[in-house]
A and B are shown apart, each in its own frame.
Chain A
Amino acid sequence: MSSLVYFSSVSENTRRFVDKLDIDATRIPLRPTEPFLHVRDPYVLVVPTYGGGNEGGAVPRQVVKFLNDATNRSLIRGVIAAGNTNFGAHYCMAGDIIAAKCQVPYLYAFELMGTTEDVRRVREGWGRFWQRHSPTPA
Chain B
Amino acid sequence: MAEKLKLVDRVQAINWNRVEDEKDVEVWDRLVGNFWLPEKVPVSNDIQSWATLSDVEKQMTTRVFTGLTLLDTIQGTVGAVSLIPDALTPHEEAVYTNIAFMESVHAKSYSSIFSTLISTREIDEAFRWSEENPNLQRKAEIVLDYYRGDEPLKRKVASTMLESFLFYSGFYAPMYWSSRAKLTNTADLIRLIIRDEAVHGYYIGYKFQKGLEKLTEPERQDLKDYTFELLFELYDNEVEYTQDLYDPLGLTEDVKAFLRYNANKALMNLGYEALFPKDETNVNPAILSALSPNADENHDFFSGSGSSYVIGKAVNTEDEDWDF
Q: Chain B interface: which of A21-29, A33-41, A120-128? A: A120-128
Report B-chain residues with C-beta under 8 Å of the C-beta of A59: 319
| B194 beta carbon closer than 8 Å to chain A | yes
A126 to B199 Cα, complex, angstroms:
31
**Would A100 and B23 count as touching, CB distance under 8 A?**
no
**Would A97 and B295 count as touching, CB distance under 8 A?**
no
A73 to B69 Cα, complex, angstroms:
48
Give the number of residues in B that approach A within 8 Å (Cβ atoms).
52
Report B-chain residues with C-beta under 8 Å of the C-beta of A55: 315-317
Report A-chain residues with C-beta under 8 Å of the C-beta of B87: none
| B322 beta carbon closer than 8 Å to chain A | yes
**Would A68 and B324 count as touching, CB distance under 8 A?**
yes
**Would A11 and B23 count as touching, CB distance under 8 A?**
yes
Most chain A Cβ neighbours within 10 Å, of B295, B309, B317 = B317
Cβ-neighbour of A84 out of B34, B202, B288 (below 8 A): B202
Chain A 91-138 interface residues, beta-carbon cutoff 8 Å to B: 91-93, 95-101, 103-109, 111-113, 115-117, 121-122, 124-126, 128-129, 132-133
Among residues of A, the one whose C-beta sits closest to the C-beta of B308 is: A105
Report B-chain residues with C-beta under 8 Å of the C-beta of A93: 315
**Would A51 and B293 count as touching, CB distance under 8 A?**
no
Given A117-B278, A125-B302, verify A56-B319 contact (CB < 8 Å).
Answer: yes
Report A-chain residues with C-beta under 8 Å of the C-beta of B23: 9-11
Given A112-B265, A112-B268, verify A64-B319 contact (CB < 8 Å).
Answer: yes
Q: Encode contact with A along B246-270: 1 for CB under 8 Å, 0 otherwise.
A: 0000000000000000001100110
Q: Encode contact with A along B302-324: 1 for CB under 8 Å, 0 otherwise.
A: 10001001111111110101111
Given A56-B317, A88-B291, verify A108-B195 contact (CB < 8 Å).
Answer: no
Closest CB-CB distance, B49 to chain A, in whole Å? 20
A87 to B294 Cα, complex, angstroms:
10
**Would A101 and B324 count as touching, CB distance under 8 A?**
yes
**Would B314 and A91 count as touching, CB distance under 8 A?**
no
Given A107-B300, A126-B301, verify A100-B314 contact (CB < 8 Å).
Answer: yes
**Would A64 and B321 count as touching, CB distance under 8 A?**
yes
**Would B306 and A99 count as touching, CB distance under 8 A?**
no
Cβ-neighbour of B310 out of A106, A122, A126 (below 8 A): A106
**Would A101 and B291 count as touching, CB distance under 8 A?**
no
| B6 beta carbon closer than 8 Å to chain A | no
Report A-chain residues with C-beta under 8 Å of the C-beta of B312: 95-101, 103, 106
Closest CB-CB distance, A73 to chain B, in whole Å? 7
Q: Encode contact with B along A35-56: 1 for CB under 8 Å, 0 otherwise.
A: 0000000000000001111111
Report B-chain residues with C-beta under 8 Å of the C-beta of A122: 301
**Would A89 and B30 count as touching, CB distance under 8 A?**
no
A50 to B319 Cα, complex, angstroms:
14
A57 to B228 Cα, complex, angstroms:
34
A61 to B323 Cα, complex, angstroms:
12
Beyond A9-B23, A64-B319, A88-B293, 11 extra complex contacts between A and B, CB < 8 Å: A11-B206, A51-B199, A54-B33, A55-B317, A58-B317, A68-B324, A86-B197, A101-B317, A105-B306, A108-B301, A133-B306
Pull 21 A–B residue pairs with CB atoms less than 8 Å apart, ordered by A: A52-B199, A58-B317, A67-B322, A68-B321, A73-B324, A81-B299, A86-B292, A88-B191, A88-B292, A91-B292, A92-B294, A92-B299, A95-B312, A105-B310, A106-B310, A108-B299, A111-B265, A115-B278, A116-B278, A121-B302, A128-B301
Residues of A within 8 A of B (CB): 9-13, 16, 50-59, 61, 64-65, 67-68, 70, 73, 78, 81, 84-89, 91-93, 95-101, 103-109, 111-113, 115-117, 121-122, 124-126, 128-129, 132-133
